[in-house]
Amino acid sequence: MRLHLLLLLSLCGAGPTAAALSFSLRGNWSICNGNGSLELPGAVPGCVHSALFQQGLIQDSYYRFNDLNYRWVSLDNWTYSKEFKIPFEISKWQKVNLVLEGVDTVSKILFNKVTIGETDNMFNRYEQCSFSWDWGPSFPTQGIWKDVRIEAYNICHLNYFTFSPIYDKSAQEWNLEIESTFDVVSSKPVGGQVIIAIPKLQTQQMYNIELQPGRRIVELFVNISKNITVETWWPHGHGNQTGYNMTVLFELDGGLNIEKSAKVYFRTVELIEEPIKGSPGLSFYFKINGFPIFLKGSNWIPADSFQDRVTSELLQRLLQSVVDANMNTLRVWGGGIYEQDEFYELCDELGIMVWQDFMFACALYPTDQGFLDSVRAEVAYQIKRLKSHPSIIIWSGNNENEAALMMNWYHINFTDRPTYIKDYVTLYVKNIRELVLAGDKSRPFITSSPTNGAETVAEGWVSQNPNSNYFGDVHFYDYISDCWNWKVFPKARFASEYGYQSWPSFSTLEKVSSTEDWSFNSKFSLHRQHHADGNKQMLHQAGLHFKLPQSTDPLRTFKDTIYLTQVMQAQCVKTETEFYLRSRSEIVDQQGHTMGALYWQLNDIWQAPSWASLEYGGKWKMLHYFAQNFFAPLLPVGFENENVFYIYGVSDLHLDYKMTLTVRVHTWSFLEPVCSRVTEHFVMKAGEAVCLYEEPVSEMLRRCGNCTRESCVVSFYLSADHKLQSPANYHFLSSLKEAMGLCKAQITAIISQRGDMFVFDLVTSAVAPFVWLDVGSIPGRFSDNGFLMTEKTRTILFYPWEPTSKSELEQSFRVTSLTDIY
């Protein structure tokens, strides 16, 4: 498959002269296939699939089996063509450029039938082709997926503008390094001055410059007076995301003025790898502005196979859902794309830290000179484009390629391994790392994820065990072992990937399926599952602790199974995440000091089973509601060890607080606690996880009357002077398929409107685990969901993302609990 871009130019009369002009070529283009049998209009930015759909020539590409039916689109060659007139006289301009911001991917570009360029790398200013993954379809798109324009200028042109705030520890002051790249087309040197102004920091500095003909780089150093208080950028939950407006004005010879405006954020980031008392190896954690921060969040994949569908509204919805769930970090995974500028701008504004992979994943890449040249251009461009964003806290060379090489995923002959290691070092160390160190001094770089960090460096850039619990970060997946058993999980320094699958809600699937597809073993369900044995693994894990649906109604069974996979996923990821959270401050059996938990994955690329907590389009799965609680800044975590029940307090707060812990035991058959205990006041230390409570389970059951493991459940929460309170957490004393006393809960809701939100006043007839409120396809989120309801009444809020009415909610509303399928 190959893309051709054909542009035909007609000249028109001269327009007014200026220092520079830009003429957009966005809008309608003509698209035809390789043999000319199909011709249609198409929008730019866009892709062939979208154009075909908009013209009614294909269905929604995500409908049923269309990922198979429409393979012909990607296997054909396509030509985009446009005939246009430039509204200015070219001869009056010293330089005229055709600028294509993103071409997908292998293409030849012709201008008036003359070949003027070729592309073969979508990451180098000209979308990744997706050939499927275990969570996504194969849609290798083709098209002009970003802006295209004609630029004309005289004298000189500003090609790139980037900057980095740098903190000088010795002088205790901030400086700003600004780099500007010019194309000087004048035959003579161009002189002038630069005025840099940051009004709120009372900073204005002027510099004289002289630009010689050719490509020239201007580096400027701006000092911020130490007498001025600079407010730093903090991650979500740790402070404000203060930024400062900056203008940079270039006043150049010939009356040429070029002005750039930008938002400047000040923050420091350090990756701390140092010895830990009582443990071999090294720590692996981040300090932001000198403060150690536990990274909690998820992994980001492209929001759609077709990037022209990724709107500003969708990005805002997905990223707002990140902070609404108390996350502070996203890892932009190395098998997707470098995201658009708006993604990083939103992360800056919302306080979302970004672990940025370079786009290399799960493969062994070549190192011929042509490929290395392409990679170097890609990396250099992305560093310039992204390094001014405070949200990006680390560069990572690749996803899992060190592990793939050293754990021999691809069955390399042992005698050939040195060659592959040499190629690996050449690509990620001698090229990518070299460019990062030269181009960005404001954040750390690691070669891979997972990696052993400094230990990997010491072992020659590849480690014998890249997934070690004593160094760096780990990726961990285990779908067979019981996920309620916390001893399964690695007590590692940093967990950057882990997770379990679930199915998206029926309302999401219904849009891309038909009635014959609505069973767990249908051809559609098997096809939509791209992870080997994924559906069986979900049922296996669910069956360990829950009764599987047994309805005689096939559709009811399908919906109940979907619900149960979401219950299983949420509970599994909760158990694993809470294990990492409570491991931050302790060393047990020489392991611990875990300082990061990023589950796989945040979002979906289509409507299918996956590890995501947000469905395609942004609807929250049960896991995302659980994440809102287990990533809360203050959390009690309960677990058992050798039949003793423990509660740890986990704090992401910056201050110590005097608190109490309330522990309640409930029976499944009664809506009032059978016993309750409130601890004495204690001080919860900032940024720590400590044991607050321990009691043998047998004593707790005896203390609470006639309780047994099967008949009772424990809930608990932290509070500080009735102002600051943690979410209520719970601990099951047995599998719920063995629970005694559970009866079918009749749950009703009265819905009322309060401003832009809606109030759901719930009443239940019995204790109900995993209460799930659903309003179908109405976009929005609840204040809580998937919860354990141990009291007769509860009030939940619904925040719509689009205008809706009370009557629409009442018509769509459904409530389910585990008792409905038992």
Active-site annotation, residues: 400, 497
Geometric angle at alpha carbon 101, from 95 and 107, rounded to 5°: 95
| Cβ atoms of 652 and 691 closer than 8 Å | no
| Per-residue CA distances from 193 to 156, 164, 248, 365, 378 (Å) | 14, 21, 10, 46, 31
Beta strands per DSSP E along 101-211: 103-104, 107-111, 114-119, 130-133, 136-139, 143-144, 148-153, 156-168, 173-184, 190-198, 203-211
Helix (H), strand (E) at residue 25: none
What helix, strand, coil percent values describe the chain, rounded to 5? 25, 35, 40
Quick one: tokens of 123?
């990451």
Distance separating alpha carbons of residues 335 and 128, to the nearest angstrom: 9
| Per-residue CA distances from 438 to 384, 431, 514 (Å) | 11, 11, 55
Identity of the residue numbered 159: N
Beta pairing partners, 781: 799
Quick one: tokens of 574?
């909760």
| Cβ atoms of 155 and 182 closer than 8 Å | no
| Cβ atoms of 233 and 241 closer than 8 Å | yes
Beta pairing partners, 473: 451
| Cβ atoms of 154 and 97 closer than 8 Å | no
Buried b (16+ CB within 10 A) or exposed e, 384-414: bebbbbbbbbbbbbbbbbbbbbbeeeeeeee
Q: What is the DSSP string of 646-682?
A: EEEEEE--SS-EEEEEEEEEEETT-SS-SEEEEPPPE
Distance separating alpha carbons of residues 224 and 783, to the nearest angstrom: 43
3-class SS letters over 420-435: HHHHHHHHHHHHHHHH
Give the number of C-alpha atoms closer than 13 A to the C-alpha of residue 206, restricted to the C-beta side.
5
Beta pairing partners, 780: 800
User: Could you tell me which of 7, 86, 91, 96 has the C-alpha nearest to residue 44?
Assistant: 7
User: Could you tell me which of 801, 806, 794, 802 has the C-alpha nearest to residue 754?
Assistant: 806
Quick one: tokens of 30?
């003509």
Distance separating alpha carbons of residues 787 and 773, to the nearest angstrom: 10
| Cβ atoms of 93 and 153 closer than 8 Å | yes
Geometric angle at alpha carbon 21, from 15 and 26, rounded to 5°: 105
| Cβ atoms of 397 and 428 closer than 8 Å | yes
